[in-house]
Amino acid sequence: MEFVMSSLRLEYVRAIQKSALDTTFGVLSKAFAGIEKLIELNVRTVKLSLGESQERLTGFFSFQQPHALFIQQGSLGLSALEKEHAYWPLACKVLSETQAELTILAEVQFRQFQHEAQTFVESIRRDVPAANEAAGAAWTFPKAPVEPPQAVGQA
């Protein structure tokens, strides 16, 4: 019986380690996908800004009257503000999508861990002799599902 229980524990520890590695790589994969989307957004934004800057500089040299140059410079602030208003909603969308994917992954992993822990405890409980019924009862998890902790910012 000692060998059976120790091999069960070793098997459980291996399953937990594998699950932890799978979870870690899943989280890293989702996080890097979000970072990749942000980098793509930033690259597009910089390319667009460089193209517009080149057009404006070329236009500055074509002005014949100095007051037209000042009028053009005054519109630069509005243009930058419009670009900022276009950029941040896209960046926030990428961040919120990434957070949602990570939250779903965490919930799935929590439920899987809860199921595996319950299975492990039940297997140990089956191996406990009838004389130790009280000790076996102490290992019993509640049957009602326990909700995972909520992610920060979700209420």
| pLDDT tens-digit map of 62-84 | 766 767 666 667 677 777 788 88
CB 109 within 8 A of CB 86: no
pLDDT, residue 143, reads: 57
Q: How far apart are CA 17 and CA 104, in angstroms?
A: 21
pLDDT band of 131, cuts 50, 70, 90: very low
The larger pLDDT score, comparing residue 100 to residue 10, is at 100
pTM of structure: 0.62
Q: How far apart are CA 20 and CA 13, in angstroms?
A: 10
Mean per-residue pLDDT of the chain: 78
pLDDT, residue 145, reads: 56
Considering 35-39, 115-119, 128-132, 142-146, the range whose residues carry the highest mean pLDDT is 35-39
Q: How far apart are CA 20 and CA 12, in angstroms?
A: 12
Mean pLDDT of 90-94: 95
Residue pLDDT, tens place only, 102-120? 999 989 888 988 888 788 7
Token pair recorded at residue 146? 């326990």
Mean pLDDT of 139-147: 57
CA geometry: angle at 24 spanning 28 and 110, to 5°? 120
pLDDT, residue 30, reads: 93
